[in-house]
Structure 1
Amino acid sequence: MKQKFHYDTVSEAVTQLKAQGFTLDLNLKSNQFTAGDDVFHAEDFEIVDLYRYEGASDPADEAIVYALASPAGIKGILVSGYGLYTDEAAVQTLKQLHYKYQQSQL
Protein backbone atom coordinates (compact mmCIF):
# COMPACT_ATOMS: atom_id res chain seq x y z
CA MET A 1 0.00 0.00 0.00
CA LYS A 2 1.43 3.37 -0.98
CA GLN A 3 1.37 6.20 1.51
CA LYS A 4 -1.77 8.23 0.79
CA PHE A 5 -1.49 11.02 3.34
CA HIS A 6 1.16 13.08 4.96
CA TYR A 7 0.42 14.57 8.34
CA ASP A 8 2.29 17.64 9.57
CA THR A 9 2.82 16.40 13.13
CA VAL A 10 3.06 13.15 15.05
CA SER A 11 -0.09 14.00 17.02
CA GLU A 12 -2.05 14.67 13.82
CA ALA A 13 -0.93 11.34 12.36
CA VAL A 14 -1.96 9.50 15.54
CA THR A 15 -5.35 11.22 15.64
CA GLN A 16 -6.10 10.41 12.00
CA LEU A 17 -4.92 6.80 12.30
CA LYS A 18 -7.13 6.29 15.36
CA ALA A 19 -10.06 7.57 13.30
CA GLN A 20 -9.17 4.88 10.73
CA GLY A 21 -9.44 2.13 13.35
CA PHE A 22 -5.84 1.89 14.58
CA THR A 23 -6.95 2.13 18.19
CA LEU A 24 -4.35 0.24 20.23
CA ASP A 25 -1.41 2.19 21.63
CA LEU A 26 1.39 -0.31 21.02
CA ASN A 27 4.79 -0.46 22.69
CA LEU A 28 7.65 -2.64 21.49
CA LYS A 29 9.88 -4.63 23.79
CA SER A 30 12.28 -7.05 22.14
CA ASN A 31 10.07 -8.94 19.68
CA GLN A 32 6.69 -8.32 21.30
CA PHE A 33 4.12 -5.57 21.13
CA THR A 34 2.25 -4.69 24.27
CA ALA A 35 -0.95 -2.73 24.76
CA GLY A 36 -1.83 -2.52 28.43
CA ASP A 37 -1.77 -6.10 29.73
CA ASP A 38 -2.08 -7.61 26.23
CA VAL A 39 1.04 -9.05 24.59
CA PHE A 40 1.34 -9.79 20.87
CA HIS A 41 4.11 -11.39 18.80
CA ALA A 42 5.61 -8.76 16.53
CA GLU A 43 5.96 -11.19 13.63
CA ASP A 44 2.15 -11.44 13.51
CA PHE A 45 1.92 -7.78 12.45
CA GLU A 46 2.52 -5.93 9.22
CA ILE A 47 3.26 -2.26 8.68
CA VAL A 48 0.24 -0.81 6.89
CA ASP A 49 1.73 2.66 6.69
CA LEU A 50 4.43 4.75 8.30
CA TYR A 51 5.27 8.41 8.72
CA ARG A 52 8.73 9.72 9.55
CA TYR A 53 9.32 13.01 11.33
CA GLU A 54 12.65 14.76 11.72
CA GLY A 55 13.24 17.61 14.13
CA ALA A 56 14.35 20.80 12.40
CA SER A 57 17.05 21.52 14.93
CA ASP A 58 16.94 18.78 17.57
CA PRO A 59 17.73 15.15 16.66
CA ALA A 60 15.78 14.09 19.77
CA ASP A 61 12.61 15.18 17.95
CA GLU A 62 12.96 12.39 15.38
CA ALA A 63 10.15 9.83 15.37
CA ILE A 64 8.36 7.30 13.18
CA VAL A 65 4.63 6.63 13.47
CA TYR A 66 3.72 3.08 12.44
CA ALA A 67 0.21 1.93 11.55
CA LEU A 68 0.29 -1.81 12.30
CA ALA A 69 -2.24 -4.57 11.67
CA SER A 70 -2.43 -8.32 12.18
CA PRO A 71 -4.38 -10.85 10.09
CA ALA A 72 -6.59 -11.32 13.19
CA GLY A 73 -7.81 -7.74 12.75
CA ILE A 74 -5.81 -6.16 15.57
CA LYS A 75 -4.84 -2.62 14.58
CA GLY A 76 -2.60 -0.28 16.50
CA ILE A 77 -0.12 2.54 16.43
CA LEU A 78 3.52 2.46 17.46
CA VAL A 79 5.39 5.75 17.85
CA SER A 80 9.10 5.10 17.91
CA GLY A 81 12.01 7.44 18.34
CA TYR A 82 15.14 6.57 16.47
CA GLY A 83 18.74 7.29 16.99
CA LEU A 84 20.78 7.07 20.14
CA TYR A 85 18.18 5.78 22.63
CA THR A 86 16.85 2.63 20.98
CA ASP A 87 16.62 -0.97 22.24
CA GLU A 88 18.74 -3.17 19.94
CA ALA A 89 16.31 -6.13 20.02
CA ALA A 90 13.45 -3.77 19.14
CA VAL A 91 15.53 -2.33 16.31
CA GLN A 92 16.01 -5.81 14.83
CA THR A 93 12.28 -6.52 15.08
CA LEU A 94 11.44 -3.26 13.32
CA LYS A 95 14.00 -4.02 10.61
CA GLN A 96 12.19 -7.29 9.88
CA LEU A 97 8.84 -5.49 9.72
CA HIS A 98 10.35 -2.82 7.45
CA TYR A 99 11.68 -5.52 5.14
CA LYS A 100 8.21 -7.12 4.84
CA TYR A 101 6.70 -3.65 4.26
CA GLN A 102 9.20 -2.83 1.50
CA GLN A 103 8.56 -6.16 -0.20
CA SER A 104 4.81 -5.45 -0.25
CA GLN A 105 5.48 -2.10 -1.98
CA LEU A 106 7.13 -3.75 -5.02
Structure 2
Amino acid sequence: MAIHQDNPYATLTEAIAQLKADGYTHDFNQQGKHLECKKLSKNFQPEDFTITHTYRFEGMSSTDDNSVLYGIEAADGTKGQLVDAYGVYADSLSPEMIEKFRVQYDDPGKL
Protein backbone atom coordinates (compact mmCIF):
# COMPACT_ATOMS: atom_id res chain seq x y z
CA MET A 1 0.00 0.00 0.00
CA ALA A 2 1.33 3.44 -0.90
CA ILE A 3 1.97 5.81 1.95
CA HIS A 4 1.59 9.57 1.50
CA GLN A 5 4.94 11.27 1.44
CA ASP A 6 5.64 14.89 2.25
CA ASN A 7 5.64 16.64 -1.10
CA PRO A 8 8.71 18.86 -1.55
CA TYR A 9 7.69 19.84 -5.10
CA ALA A 10 5.80 22.99 -6.04
CA THR A 11 4.58 21.54 -9.35
CA LEU A 12 3.79 18.19 -10.90
CA THR A 13 6.29 18.94 -13.68
CA GLU A 14 9.08 19.40 -11.13
CA ALA A 15 8.26 16.07 -9.46
CA ILE A 16 8.12 14.22 -12.79
CA ALA A 17 11.53 15.64 -13.77
CA GLN A 18 13.10 14.52 -10.48
CA LEU A 19 11.66 11.00 -10.72
CA LYS A 20 13.02 10.74 -14.28
CA ALA A 21 16.43 11.90 -13.04
CA ASP A 22 16.22 9.16 -10.38
CA GLY A 23 15.69 6.49 -13.05
CA TYR A 24 11.87 6.35 -13.19
CA THR A 25 11.88 6.80 -16.97
CA HIS A 26 9.01 4.64 -18.20
CA ASP A 27 5.38 5.69 -18.42
CA PHE A 28 2.76 3.40 -16.94
CA ASN A 29 -0.96 3.35 -17.65
CA GLN A 30 -3.61 1.83 -15.42
CA GLN A 31 -5.67 -0.86 -17.06
CA GLY A 32 -8.50 -2.78 -15.42
CA LYS A 33 -6.39 -5.53 -13.86
CA HIS A 34 -2.80 -4.48 -14.52
CA LEU A 35 -0.34 -1.69 -15.29
CA GLU A 36 0.78 -1.31 -18.85
CA CYS A 37 4.07 -0.01 -20.18
CA LYS A 38 3.44 0.52 -23.89
CA LYS A 39 7.05 1.35 -24.72
CA LEU A 40 8.19 -2.06 -23.44
CA SER A 41 5.02 -3.90 -24.49
CA LYS A 42 4.73 -5.23 -20.92
CA ASN A 43 1.92 -5.62 -18.44
CA PHE A 44 2.41 -5.83 -14.68
CA GLN A 45 -0.06 -7.47 -12.30
CA PRO A 46 -0.63 -5.79 -8.89
CA GLU A 47 1.65 -8.32 -7.19
CA ASP A 48 4.43 -7.55 -9.71
CA PHE A 49 5.07 -3.90 -8.81
CA THR A 50 5.63 -1.64 -5.83
CA ILE A 51 4.67 1.99 -5.45
CA THR A 52 7.82 3.66 -4.14
CA HIS A 53 6.80 7.33 -4.31
CA THR A 54 3.46 9.09 -3.99
CA TYR A 55 3.06 12.83 -4.46
CA ARG A 56 -0.31 14.54 -4.29
CA PHE A 57 -1.05 17.84 -6.07
CA GLU A 58 -4.12 19.95 -5.50
CA GLY A 59 -5.34 22.35 -8.15
CA MET A 60 -5.56 25.97 -7.10
CA SER A 61 -8.70 26.87 -9.00
CA SER A 62 -10.59 23.60 -9.34
CA THR A 63 -10.79 20.21 -7.68
CA ASP A 64 -10.75 18.81 -11.23
CA ASP A 65 -7.04 19.72 -11.27
CA ASN A 66 -6.16 17.33 -8.44
CA SER A 67 -3.71 14.57 -9.28
CA VAL A 68 -1.35 12.01 -7.81
CA LEU A 69 2.09 11.12 -9.18
CA TYR A 70 3.25 7.59 -8.43
CA GLY A 71 6.83 6.35 -8.71
CA ILE A 72 6.62 2.64 -9.48
CA GLU A 73 9.17 -0.17 -9.54
CA ALA A 74 8.30 -3.52 -11.08
CA ALA A 75 9.69 -6.83 -9.86
CA ASP A 76 11.82 -7.08 -13.04
CA GLY A 77 13.50 -3.73 -12.23
CA THR A 78 11.46 -1.58 -14.61
CA LYS A 79 11.02 1.87 -13.07
CA GLY A 80 8.48 4.40 -14.18
CA GLN A 81 5.73 6.74 -13.23
CA LEU A 82 2.01 7.16 -13.43
CA VAL A 83 0.01 10.37 -13.13
CA ASP A 84 -3.59 9.86 -12.06
CA ALA A 85 -6.43 12.27 -11.40
CA TYR A 86 -8.14 11.52 -8.09
CA GLY A 87 -10.58 8.68 -8.55
CA VAL A 88 -11.11 9.17 -12.28
CA TYR A 89 -10.42 5.56 -13.21
CA ALA A 90 -11.50 3.86 -10.01
CA ASP A 91 -14.70 2.45 -11.53
CA SER A 92 -12.77 0.63 -14.26
CA LEU A 93 -10.12 -0.94 -12.00
CA SER A 94 -10.18 -4.36 -10.40
CA PRO A 95 -10.41 -4.51 -6.59
CA GLU A 96 -6.73 -5.59 -6.52
CA MET A 97 -5.66 -2.52 -8.52
CA ILE A 98 -7.80 -0.19 -6.40
CA GLU A 99 -6.20 -1.59 -3.25
CA LYS A 100 -2.70 -1.27 -4.74
CA PHE A 101 -3.22 2.42 -5.50
CA ARG A 102 -5.05 3.31 -2.29
CA VAL A 103 -3.12 6.10 -0.64
CA GLN A 104 -3.10 6.59 3.09
CA TYR A 105 -3.25 10.17 4.23
CA ASP A 106 -3.10 11.61 7.70
CA ASP A 107 -6.57 13.10 7.12
CA PRO A 108 -9.01 10.20 6.47
CA GLY A 109 -11.31 12.63 4.65
CA LYS A 110 -8.76 13.04 1.84
CA LEU A 111 -9.18 10.86 -1.22
Shared fold (TM-score greater than 0.5)?
Answer: yes
* 8 Å Cα contact 2:51-2:72 kept in structure 1: yes
Asked if 1:77 corresponds to 2:81, the answer is yes
Task: Calculate the aligned-residue CA RMSD, in Å.
Answer: 2.6
Match of 1:11 in 2: 13
Identity %: 32
* 8 Å Cα contact 2:44-2:74 kept in structure 1: no
TM-score between the two structures when normalised by the length of structure 2: 0.75
Tell me: CA distance 1:5–1:60, structure 2 relative to 1, closer, same or farther (3 Å): closer
Distance in 1 between residues matched to 2:101 and 2:90, nearest whole Å = 15
Asked if 1:23 corresponds to 2:32, the answer is no
Asked if 1:64 corresponds to 2:68, the answer is yes
SS at match of 2:80: strand
Tell me: CA distance 1:97–1:62, structure 2 relative to 1, closer, same or farther (3 Å): closer
| 2:50 maps to amino acid | E
SS at match of 1:43: helix
Deviation at 1:38, TM superposition (A): 2.3
The runs of 4+ residues in structure 1 deviating greater than 3 Å are 1-5
Higher relative contact order (CA 8 A, sep 6+): 2
Paired positions, count: 100
Tell me: CA distance 1:61–1:2, structure 2 relative to 1, closer, same or farther (3 Å): closer
Match of 2:108 in 1: none
TM-score between the two structures when normalised by the length of structure 1: 0.78
